[in-house]
Structure 1
Amino acid sequence: MSSSVRAHAAKMASFLVVGGAAFVVDAVVFNLLTFWVTGRGPLFDQPLLAKTIAIVLASVATYVGNRYWTFARRRLRLRFSRYVMFAVLNLVAIGIQLGCLAFSRHVLGLEGPIPDNISGTLIGQALATIFRYLTYDRLVFREDEGDPELLTEETA
């Protein structure tokens, strides 16, 4: 196996581990807000708001994990535009997940822990993770080459 294939596999594996941790944050927060322990949480009637809160919290975890682990070896300049791009791409990813949940709830008429978690957490997050992997690699954590003011993992 070539070193570039190994490097890509390692990057993908760490991205998936970070995504797995974010999945847990998303699922736990969403289920607590929507279904609590009794089956009807404080945001039961507002599952899209509950999912938005869960995704935002999970997104913070993904930024930290991806910046300091998945893409840690990349030489990155600290830029405000990098944070803006991360936020914009996460808004799109949130839209993907909310779209899956809204379709299940409002078009198919499915409601409850199982359909909400299948549509919003499993399917929605799987699609959003693919989107994030492709866009983070190219747009958020793109390496800045040839710039003397770059931060490496030692200086970040």
Structure 2
Amino acid sequence: MSEPGALRTKLNQLAREVVKFGAVGGLGVLVNMGVFNLVRNTTELPVVRASLIATVVAIAFNYIGFRYFTYRDREKSGRARELSLFLLFSVIGMVIENGVLYAATYGFGWDSSLQSNFFKFFGIGVGTIFRFWSYRTWVFRALPAPEEKEAVQAAESFLEHAPRQATRRQPDRV
């Protein structure tokens, strides 16, 4: 495949991935905001605690969507590793997301319902940038392309046979 054709293919794959990530993420935002407002308006919990509960619910929802929709074609071995990394990066995203809300609420005193929802939504956006990068890079890694797989297999085969060839080498004659 030509270099421009390969680039176009990679860009098309990235665009599809972004659309799928956005679809799951968009539903996750609705879950997050819905649970946030439900908890905030029906309990006496402080704003950031309500947000943390909502974020945890959304993280669970998003894992299912990402694993079985967005990244269903990605490597499936090592589910414990995948889930551990997903939770690690989700917690970092949760800190980013709720750090924005915390700063707005307790740093600036912006704690009306409208302001809380705005900063919750803004924090989700900032956290999403981090999550997209980390999930695609570390959690749901792409399987190697067929050409890459063949190259890796050839290299492994070469390395596997290289030591044997070296031991059979005849001594140099003077």
State the TM bucket, normalised to the shorter chain: 0.7 to 0.9
Residues 12-42 of structure 1: per-residue CA shift (max 9 Å, x gap): 001011110000000010001112xxxxx30
Q: Which residue of 2 aligns with 1:24?
A: 30
The yes-or-no answer on 1:117 pairing with 2:123 is no
Structure 1: unaligned runs, 5 residues or longer: 36-40, 147-156
Q: Where in structure 2 are the equivalents of 1:22-101 lying within 5 Å?
A: 22-35=28-41, 41-43=42-44, 45-101=45-101
The answer to which structure has the higher helix fraction is 2
User: Offset of 1:3 from its aligned partner?
Assistant: 2.0
Secondary structure (helix, strand or coil) at the match of 2:109 reads coil
Structure 2: unaligned runs, 5 residues or longer: 150-174
| Matched letter for residue 92 of structure 1 | I
Name which one, 1 or 2, has greater alpha-carbon Rg: 2
User: Offset of 1:66 from its aligned partner?
Assistant: 0.9
The separation in 2 between residues aligned to 1:82 and 1:144, in whole angstroms, is 14
The separation in 1 between residues aligned to 2:32 and 2:79, in whole angstroms, is 27
User: Offset of 1:55 from its aligned partner?
Assistant: 0.5
Q: Any conservation in 2 of the 1:48–1:102 contact (CA below 8 Å)?
A: yes
**Runs of 4 or more off by more than 4 Å in structure 1?**
none
State the identity as a percent: 27
TM-score, length of structure 2 as denominator length: 0.75
| Number of equivalenced pairs | 140
TM-score, length of structure 1 as denominator length: 0.83
- RCO higher in 1 or 2 (8 Å CA, sep ≥ 6)? 1
